[in-house]
């Protein structure tokens, strides 16, 4: 994901996170270059809790928690998996399937609930890297679209009609 200089380069889904519900965020990443001390940011937040991971070529940190670490091989992809336990805000962070941090998520941010990733700095263009996948689940996002509900309703009416015709024919 190479970006030009001095641009905001990120993605945000808002609303995207409800801290009263369990969540899981998994992603594969390697960052190749950074500048001005900025790195890749990925996570989710609402006003009650935040899971804000910062990843650079040399290591990682979970913003506001005091947890951080380094990579033995900075050029390799690393698989991150962060799980949270809803109302308690308890979390477990795994990197390459090894538990590297566990505890309570830091407090949230004043802005809207969101899921985000990219170079979140206002000047942008400070990080280059590769993301191989991102998986995120939080039941707050599992709302069917109105068209899906309409299609399911139509299917139910069709089945009821067939049953009625079958009874009438018998």
pTM, full prediction: 0.75
Both 130 and 155 in one domain: the answer is no
Asked whether residue 2 is domain-assigned, the answer is: no
DSSP 3-state of 140:
helix
Asked whether residue 108 is domain-assigned, the answer is: yes
- Average pLDDT over the chain, rounded to an integer: 82
Side-chain half-sphere CA neighbours of 79 within 13 A: 5
The residue among 112 and 2 whose pLDDT is bigger is 112
- What is the pLDDT at residue 74? 83
DSSP 3-state of 19:
coil
Task: Output the six-digit token pair for 18.
Answer: 């409800």
Adjacency order of strands within the sheet including 78-84:
98-104, 90-95, 78-84, 23-34, 127-137
- What is the pLDDT at residue 18? 93
Judge whether 14 and 140 are in contact, CB under 8 Å: no
Asked whether residue 122 is domain-assigned, the answer is: yes
In whole angstroms, give the CA distance from residue 137 to residue 162: 38
Domain total for the chain? 2
pLDDT (tens digit, 9 = 90+) per residue, 125-154? 677 888 999 999 997 544 455 555 566 666
Q: Could you tell me the CATH number of the domain that includes residue 89?
A: 2.60.120.200
Both 86 and 29 in one domain: the answer is yes
pLDDT (tens digit, 9 = 90+) per residue, 18-68? 999 999 999 999 988 877 667 889 999 999 999 999 998 889 999 989 999
At residue 110 the predicted structure's pLDDT band, cuts being 50, 70 and 90, is confident
Q: Domain of 19?
A: 9-137
Both 46 and 121 in one domain: the answer is yes
pLDDT exceeds 70 at position 122: no
Asked whether residue 119 is domain-assigned, the answer is: yes
Both 21 and 62 in one domain: the answer is yes
């Amino acid at each position: 994901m190479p970006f030009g200089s001095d641009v905001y380069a990120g993605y945000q889904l808002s609303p995207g996170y409800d801290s009263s519900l369990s969540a899981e965020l998994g992603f594969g990443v390697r960052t190749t270059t950074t500048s001005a001390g900025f790195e890749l940011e990925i996570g989710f937040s609402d006003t009650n809790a935040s899971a804000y991971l910062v990843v650079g070529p040399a290591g990682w940190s979970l913003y506001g928690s005091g947890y951080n670490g380094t990579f033995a091989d900075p050029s390799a992809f690393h698989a991150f998996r962060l799980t949270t336990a809803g109302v308690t805000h308890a979390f477990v962070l795994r990197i390459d399937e090894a538990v590297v941090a566990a505890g309570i998520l830091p407090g949230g941010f004043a802005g809207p609930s969101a899921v985000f990733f990219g170079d979140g700095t206002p000047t942008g263009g400070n990080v280059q890297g590769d993301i191989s996948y991102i998986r995120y689940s939080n039941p707050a996002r599992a709302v069917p679209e109105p068209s899906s509900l309409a299609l399911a309703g139509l299917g139910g009416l069709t089945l009821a009609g067939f049953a009625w015709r079958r009874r009438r024919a018998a």
